[in-house]
Amino acid sequence: MKFTQKLIWILATLLLTQSLVMPDYIQAADSKEQAVKKVKKDYDTYEKSAKDNYKKYADSEKASYQSLLKLVDNDYKHLKDIASDDYNKLKKKYDSRKLDSYYGEINRLGRSVDIYYGEIHRLGQSMDRYYGDIYRLAGALDRYYGDIYRLTETLDRYYGEVHRIGGTLHRFEQGKSSITQLNKDFAEIKSNTHNALTNRVQVTTQSIQERRASTIKSLCLAKRTAIENLNRERKEVTGETIDFGTFGIDSLCGQPIKVFIDGVEQDLSQEPVIIQGNTLVPLKQIFVALGADVSWNALDQSVSVTKGQRELWFQINNRDVRLNGKEKTVSVAPTIIQGTSMVPVSLVGEALEVNVQWDGQTRSVLISTK
């Protein structure tokens, strides 16, 4: 009886010990399960970030297009109103037959003011081509959309390696690779995906900025030609021209924008631009010229700027910035133009506590540190 009790005690002890110490094959299974979960979680996190970044980028570019459309449409209406008011006044002094050519330049199809209208509103003309890059299939922004959402494109290929039969994770689950190899494979997959999307953003930005620049150039030419033709016809009758003034798109048509720091003109790699009423300048050149340290993180396209106790952090195509630990939203996002990262000069002034002024007469940004 004692022997039987002792045997039962020994067996119970062995069973308890076995339950407390996990066998190697169970530990391996648990580690494998954790590895699978980690890969899937990493993908989910990256997917969300990529889609959020696309939305912010797309919203920013659409806002830029809509802003220019509103500006130039109002510009056209104002130009026509000035000319029409002038024509109505002249009718009281001159025979309408003498003013017919002037009237035609203002109101008839195919004449100067109508050509300007066409550049804004007709298919195949300047603003419509810009619209295509922002909204149409196969346009610049749509190609970026495809890399995020379409089958067989960049993000979908990463998804396939995680979720589809025959993918890298599926082969691991079948025991065809080790955890070490799995980590190595997905580090490379994620890096390749990120590099591809980063390149897509750069290509898209350059394409859209070039389109915008050519659109503005065509619009400025159409307006200038309209005013020249209007004044030519007016002068034929009255012997005088009128001053149409400066308004609307004229702010985008002038001479190149210059930047001065404490009176010294800066030699910039990329000309400053005006987007939605904000002047953007090459961020690294300006910040460095002002004595700040600048670091670039290619993984999330973020920039960190430090000078003394002041710190600024922001991302390309993201209006949310962090200044001295506090979050804020700027009116226009930093962007990349022809390979150069650009930042609103107002943000430079706020970040480094320098005075920034705009001289509209000379189209100059004046930065003072004194």
Give domain limits for the chain.
Answer: 26-251, 256-368
Separation of alpha carbons 128 and 298, rounded Å? 33
| DSSP helix/strand/coil, 304 | strand
Separation of alpha carbons 78 and 73, rounded Å? 9
As given in the structure block, the two tokens for residue 298 are 């290619």
Alpha helices of 239-338 — where are they, by DSSP H? 250-253, 283-289
Q: How far is CA 169 from CA 59, 180, 279, in A?
A: 34, 12, 48
CATH of domain 256-368: 3.30.457.10
Share of the chain above pLDDT 90, in %: 75
pLDDT at 28: 60
Share of the chain above pLDDT 70, in %: 92
As given in the structure block, the two tokens for residue 302 are 């973020």
pLDDT at 124: 95
Phi and psi torsions of 110, nearest 5°: 80, -5
Residue 153 pLDDT greater than 90, yes or no: yes
Model confidence at 129, in pLDDT bands (50, 70, 90)? Answer: very high
Separation of alpha carbons 326 and 322, rounded Å? 5
The angle formed by the CA atoms of residues 353, 359 and 362, to the nearest 5 degrees, is 140
Q: What is the mean pLDDT of the chain?
A: 89
| Region 165-193 average pLDDT | 95
* 58-96 pLDDT tens trace: 998 999 999 999 999 999 999 999 999 999 999 999 998
Question: Dihedral through CA 154, CA 160, CA 161, CA 163, nearest 10?
Answer: 140
Residue type, 108: R
Question: Dihedral through CA 228, CA 229, CA 233, CA 234, nearest 10?
Answer: -40
Question: Dihedral through CA 78, CA 81, CA 85, CA 90, nearest 10?
Answer: 100
Model confidence at 177, in pLDDT bands (50, 70, 90)? Answer: very high
